Amino acid sequence: MKKLAVILCMSALATGAFAQGLVSFLNTAGTLTSANGVATAGAAGSYYYGLFTAPANTTDRLVFNFSGLYGTNQTTAGRFNGGVNRQVTGWAPGETRSLLVYGWSADLGHDFRPEWLQGVFPGATPTSVFGWTVIAPAGVAGGFDGTANLPSLSIFGGAQGIPSGFNMVLVPEPTSMALAGLGAAALLIFRRRK
């Protein structure tokens, strides 16, 4: 009897760990993305977007975790896709979480790099851009939650999604950052001499 109870508990834990809620990673006409104030345009794959989640009502964007779910831009300016009914591992159907999306230009690479959140952009070019959405405080993942089939959560728009589009801005090149640092050091040196 004890073995059966242990097996059931372990099974429940494993199921929870690999639970996959459903989301729709498509933006709407009212939530378009832009780069330096102009709607993102270009060949599909010119920009990437990553979904991040955190416990419900989290307000610090730096504590959000990458879900592993990517999207990319469409050829229509400001629009991107990532599919409908995409599964998010570890976000159980019916579970409520806060969410936000980071976006970046493809010249920074396909894979999200945590150091970008600290302002470090290795290999950035003069046209590299990076940005993020506002935080949606509480979204419920779709899928079968044990009692009913919940609709796929729309990441953008809707009552629970991210309510607005977002702008990505130029990231500092390493040379620009170095020059800014030298300028600041020079100002401090001249200030001390006075």
pLDDT at 111 over 60: yes
pLDDT at 172: 87
d(CA 125, CA 122): 9
Higher-pLDDT residue of 193 and 35 is 35
pLDDT at 173 over 80: no
pLDDT at 143: 95
Give the model's confidence band at 153: pLDDT under 50 very low, under 70 low, under 90 confident, else very high: very high
DSSP assignment of 39-104 equals E--SSTTSEEEEEEEEETT---GGG-EEEEEEEEE-SSTT-EE--SSEEEETB-TT-EEEEEEEEE
Structure tokens at 111: 């894979």
pLDDT at 190: 54
Give the model's confidence band at 13: pLDDT under 50 very low, under 70 low, under 90 confident, else very high: very low
pLDDT at 2: 56
pLDDT digit string (tens) for 129-148?
Answer: 999 999 999 999 999 999 99
Give the model's confidence band at 16: pLDDT under 50 very low, under 70 low, under 90 confident, else very high: very low
pLDDT at 193: 59
pLDDT at 73 over 90: yes
Q: What is the pTM of this model?
A: 0.80
pLDDT at 5 over 50: no
Q: What percent of the chain has pLDDT over 70?
A: 79
pLDDT at 136: 96
Q: How far apart are the first and last CA of the chain?
A: 83
